[in-house]
Structure 1
Amino acid sequence: MSKAFTIATVLGALVSTTLGHGYVAGIKANGVYTEGWQVSYWYDIVNKAPYPQSPGWYEEALDLGFIQPSAYHVVHTFTCVDAMHRTSDIICHKNAVNANVSATVPAGGSVEFYWTTWPHTIGPVLTYVANCGGDCKLVNKATLKWVKIDESGIDFTTQVWASGALINNNNTWTTTVPKTLAPGHYVFRHEIIALHGGGSLNGAQNYPFCTNIDVTGSGTANPTGTLATTFYKETDPGIYFNPYVTMTNYTIPGPALWTG
């Protein structure tokens, strides 16, 4: 093990511990568990060490950090010709790159998202899908159009937010794939929006993670999606508000839910 790797690993662990954020470490699609992208793989790549192939997309939030509202529409500029990097990190997190393999789930089946220990109890949980129109390892993420298939905000009776329910369920969230969704190669975008800082403009924290999942079945629906760079605005009522009051209404951010 190189000295550089040791230092980077220790620093990464210290930052992660300090910030206390999390990520999707694995999924269970139709009852089959698959490990997701792990932060440690970045160090394996840097040190040219082997690492497992995963349906979870590569991303570089090494501090387990987030995308802030001011970056919802930011387009990075690079001198390289890889257009996949010239887009907002809100799509699939920081500098995200396509996964090379896919999990599989039938329409009407379920996908469980396993988060690492999640600390923030205030905020909604959302899941989107985008049809790649071909091989998802080749699609330009900036062109993906997303359909929201799952959303949860707050239980007004108990005042428990979806992220709190996720914590109570061993940091796990289950999404059901609509039965009518047409078979194909999809990217699933699963996200928590942490709103403990939502009372300040630019105080929300978005944690999106993408996974390649092939959908099987006999569904025929191909709903029209939305570019991720147009999902949210800094001033959306579900993004910028005081969360430390008794909630009697809440507008879940993003496009309308499609139920199939």
Structure 2
Amino acid sequence: MKSHFAALALPALVAAHGHVDKVIADGVTYTGWNAALKYQTPIPPTVGWQADNLDNGFVTPDRFGSVDIVCHKLGKSNGASVPVKPGSKVTFKWDTWPISHAGPVIEYIAPVAGDFASVNPASLSWTKIQQAAWKSGSNPGAWATDDLVKNAFSWDLVIPNLAPGNYVLRHEIIALHAGGQPNGAQAYPQCINIVVSGSGTTKLSGGVPATSFYKATDPGIQFNLFQKFEGYTIPGPPLVKLAKREERGHAREFA
């Protein structure tokens, strides 16, 4: 039985925010997660984790220390995975994203010791591998989310030179349009399962649990877009530079 599941034609959710309903890897499109799927019997397997976000809701800063922040509310693996290899381009395709919801876009990865069905989200140890946020200007300025919107609600990640195995990718937008007030930031974590093949050599270590990523008072979380500012501190653990896929025997690093 194949471990991945190609995208289905699904009804769109009507809401102001968004979710990753498609994942594209090496030219193949897979079903991410659309909470309307929970009303199908049986629920079809998807590469995107199930989550209780029928309203396209978000995780608030007062829940950043809870399991909600790992892979969204009631997040759990949903049976399918995306086959990739070092150097594969993975595209997270949102159904929509409002231009007003500016903020950072961040990717993390966690190794999975066994099969995806037995993954406990609270036990995953994450490494931050890509991040983008403020670009220029202020009030509100130009942000990575502007690029996502301009790119038809898509965001790309190149798989680094990872050793073969099962992993969870965590792609997240933190919307800051209400971040100037306490508990106003909005986190939208989206998780997908990937199976890495090939001859990559990087084994992840030193990761941290998602419940330790952010605090409500972090300068990159409680942040007022609608003022004059000259910088922005991306929240979360340090970015780890992982080698890209090996080419002619030489591993290259991400910039």
TM-score (norm 1): 0.83
The answer to whether 1:29 aligns with 2:15 is no
SS at match of 1:145: coil
Q: What is the CA-CA distance between 1:70 and the residue it aligns to?
A: 0.3
TM-score (norm 2): 0.84
* Alignment counterpart, residue 259 of structure 1, candidates 219, 241, 251: 241
- Give the aligned partner of residue 208 of structure 2: 226
Instruction: Supply the distance in 1 between the matched residues of 2:189 and 2:39 (Cα, whole angstroms).
Output: 21
Quote the residue 1:143 is aligned against: 123
Aligned to 1:207: 188
SS of match in other structure, 2:69: coil
Aligned to 1:170: 152
Q: Deviations over 1:97-153 (max 9, x none)?
A: 112111111112211000011014410101111100121221211110011111101
Q: What displacement does 1:181 show?
A: 1.9
1:91 alignment partner, SS class: helix
Q: Which residue of 2 aligns with 1:193?
A: 174
Q: How many residue pairs were aligned?
A: 227
Matches within 5 A, 1:1-260: 16-17=14-15, 20-44=16-40, 49-74=41-66, 88-119=67-98, 120-156=100-136, 159-178=141-160, 180-223=161-204, 224-260=206-242
Structure 2 unmatched ranges of 5 or more = 1-11, 243-255
Deviation at 1:246, TM superposition (A): 4.1
Matched to 1:103, the amino acid is V
Q: CA RMSD in A?
A: 1.7
5+ unaligned residues in a row in structure 1: which ranges?
1-11, 75-87
Structure whose residues are more often helix by fraction: 1
Identical-pair percentage: 45
Once the 2 structures are TM-superposed, how far is the Cα of residue 219 of structure 1 from its aligned partner?
Answer: 2.0
**Match for 1:40: what amino acid?**
A
Answer with 49-58 or 113-122: which moved more.
Answer: 49-58
Amino acid at match of 1:222: K
Q: Distance in 2 between matches of 1:157 and 1:203?
A: 22
